[in-house]
């Protein structure tokens, strides 16, 4: 409920639809270049968050907020099965300038620290970081477009494997796509990986920032 209130409060018009691929080479560099285990989600989230921030940032002192959905089942000890209510929202926050200019591994660390807080937050607040976001919003420090990026992963749902008789899914997308990407907060949906990399449905930038967003991903890939 709190997340939906925040989304309604910070609606961004005219977000544009983009298909984005985070290259396998870039993900491998991030994952293999560390002594601690890094998940695909963490690597892709770090790339999207940093490259989008670089593309849209106007105030390096403003907060950059990454919101992400979390499967809470393993933290709650739930048995195997589908639980529609075993998810929660968490956030990683840093100054926009820090996100834009940090080493990509430092961005991964920010995301990992946010995930490490989940068990304690489940005990204290029922599992949400929304209080922090409300405080930022109430202090007028959030810009709905520049500050917020919501990321959710569809990688393990299995949409791509559905076959109604004519073969597996050719392309996964949201419905209705125009509504999702035209009136809500900036959002990215992670899809199942391909040999080329992590596929992402992106509705996180306006049209005049789309080229810059793609270029930032390409530059990051070229410099690793």
As to burial, measured by CB atoms within 10 angstroms (0-12 exposed, 13-18 middle, 19+ buried), residue 12 is buried
| Segment 202-219, tens digit of pLDDT | 989 999 999 999 999 999
CA-nearest of 188, 25, 187, 47 to 108 is: 47
Which CATH homologous superfamily contains domain 2-222?
A: Chloramphenicol acetyltransferase-like domain (3.30.559.10)
Residue 72 has pLDDT above 60, yes or no: yes
| Segment 146-175, tens digit of pLDDT | 888 999 888 877 777 888 888 887 777 776
Whole-number percent of the chain with pLDDT over 70:
75
| Segment 105-144, tens digit of pLDDT | 999 999 998 888 777 776 665 555 566 666 665 555 676 6
């Amino acid at each position: 409920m709190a997340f939906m209130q925040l989304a309604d409060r910070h609606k961004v018009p005219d977000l544009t639809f983009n298909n984005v691929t985070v290259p396998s080479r870039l993900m491998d560099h991030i994952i293999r270049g560390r002594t601690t285990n890094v998940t695909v989600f963490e690597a892709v989230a770090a790339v999207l968050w940093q490259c989008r921030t670089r593309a849209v940032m106007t105030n390096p002192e403003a907060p950059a907020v990454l919101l992400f959905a979390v499967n809470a089942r393993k933290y709650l000890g739930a048995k195997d099965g589908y639980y529609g209510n075993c998810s929660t929202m968490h956030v990683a926050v840093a100054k926009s300038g820090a996100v834009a200019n940090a080493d990509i591994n430092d961005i991964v660390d920010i995301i990992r620290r946010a995930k490490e807080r989940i068990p304690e937050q489940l005990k204290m607040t029922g599992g949400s970081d929304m209080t922090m976001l409300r405080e930022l919003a109430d202090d007028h420090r959030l810009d709905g477009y520049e500050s917020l990026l919501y990321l959710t992963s569809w990688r393990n749902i299995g949409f791509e494997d559905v076959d109604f008789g004519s073969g597996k899914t050719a392309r996964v997308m949201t419905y209705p796509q125009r509504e999702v990407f035209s009136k809500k907060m900036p959002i990215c949906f992670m899809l199942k990986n391909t040999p080329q990399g992590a596929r992402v449905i992106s509705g996180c930038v306006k049209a005049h920032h789309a080229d810059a967003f793609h270029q930032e991903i390409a530059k990051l890939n070229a410099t690793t």
